[in-house]
Amino acid sequence: MRSVRPGTISAAFADASANAPDSRTRDMLVSLATALHDFVIKTQLSNDEWRAGIAALARAGETSGDARNEFSLLSDMLGISSLVNMISAQESATPSSVLGPFHQRRAPKLPNGGDLWKGQPGEVLVMTGGVFDAATGEPVAGATLDLWQNADNGLYAAQDSQQRGRNYHGILRTDAQGRYAFTTTRPVPYTVPTDGVAGEMLRLLGREAWRPAHLHVIVEAKGYHQIVTELFPDDDPWLDRDAAFAVREELVIHFERCSDKGAMPDWLEARDRLPPEFLTGSMKFYIAPKTRTLERPT
Ligand code: BEZ
Ligand code: FE
């Protein structure tokens, strides 16, 4: 290996990794190293540029901790998170979208028909829909929807000392017919944190830090692949400029203006408290069973 050249360094790396105990790990790392070698050659990277890159990674490490992960944000802003989601998607299932940094494990239980709004400012939104088997189209009873979103001020509970810790976070279960409903407020667009390396990258690229408004959902049911996804209102100005590249057409939904409380499910907890005018939205989630072969029902 003593006469390594630009054209042979990737092969040398692969040869040096021949004894890796796990072949998948070896293949991924050899492939990553090869892609990085190609990048160095293609861009004719200088020593100063490479050192600047290493320093940026070190700064990302310094700003990362329990409450914040700058590498995860970089992955989102580079489009990697979104790409991993897309290539891991189960055919026929509802597309996935980025998890983002604000999911809270063990969110409070929300009764089906329950209320995340709780009289807080914002446009009141009634969401209804169901969870279905992507192979058969049959409703999935007892599926969980782990829901979280920002408040009308654009902030998630974790970012805002004025909100209770789990505000706008809740997990509900679909009923025997696979249905769900809840009240909330319309989520609003917001900017991702720009005070770290990911923000530096956005500025260097002349990019904006906005994400379109979205409602996060993790759909789960026993025997099915989990879906981590987001729903986006169709009138959001940032839909085509999401900093995280996470919008998919199938996840864009329309909010209808409504003034007929009586048309809402009678099991909606806040039905009688709804304002004279509110928004309604609907989404059917299709989840893929773990074993069967799939064909999207028509
Ligand atoms: C979010 O959805 O909250 C989010 C996603 C990616 C990066 C930052 C925030
Ligand atoms: Fe989010």
User: How much is the pLDDT for 90?
Assistant: 86
pLDDT tens for residues 198-218?
999 999 999 999 999 999 999
The tokens for 53 are 């890159």
Give distance in angstroms: CA of 53 to centre of ligand 1: 23
As its CATH architecture, domain 74-287 has: Sandwich (2.60)
pLDDT tens for residues 46-78?
999 999 999 999 999 999 987 789 999 999 999
- Please report which ligand is nearest the Cα atom of 210: 1
Q: Which of 64, 69, 76 to mutate to test the pocket of ligand 1 (most atoms within 8 A of CB)?
A: 76
Terminal-residue alpha carbon distance, the chain: 58
Which residue reads 């989840």 in tokens? 287
Concatenate the DSSP letters of all residues of 26-79 into one string.
HHHHHHHHHHHHHHHHHHT--HHHHHHHHHHHHHHHHH-SSS--HHHHHHHHTT
Closest ligand 1 atom number to CA of residue 77: 7
Ligand 1: residue whose CA is nearest its atom 9: 100
The tokens for 259 are 């003034």
pLDDT tens for residues 120-173?
999 999 999 999 999 999 999 999 999 999 999 999 998 899 999 999 999 999
User: How much is the pLDDT for 1?
Assistant: 72
Q: Which of 148, 190, 192 to mutate to test the pocket of ligand 1 (most atoms within 8 A of CB)?
A: 192
In sequence order, which residues have a C-beta less than 8 Å from that of residue 133 and are 6 or more positions away? 139, 140, 224, 286, 287, 289
Per-domain boundaries in the chain: 9-45, 74-287
Ligand 1: residue whose CA is nearest its atom 4: 100
Q: Are 101 and 68 in contact (CB under 8 A)?
A: yes
Query: In whole angstroms, what is the distance from residue 247 CA to residue 71 CA?
Result: 21
Ligand 1: residue whose CA is nearest its atom 6: 100
Closest ligand 1 atom number to CA of residue 102: 3
Give distance in angstroms: CA of 289 to centre of ligand 2: 27
Closest ligand 1 atom number to CA of residue 193: 8
User: How much is the pLDDT for 215?
Assistant: 98
Ligand 1: residue whose CA is nearest its atom 3: 100
Res 25 pLDDT > 90 = yes
User: How much is the pLDDT for 298?
Assistant: 62
What is the CB < 6 Å shell around ligand 1? 73, 76, 98, 100-102, 192, 211, 244
Label residue 83 by pLDDT band (50, 70, 90): very high
User: How much is the pLDDT for 294?
Assistant: 57
Ligand 1: residue whose CA is nearest its atom 7: 100
Query: What residues are neighbours of ligand 2 (ion), with CB under 5 Å?
Result: 100
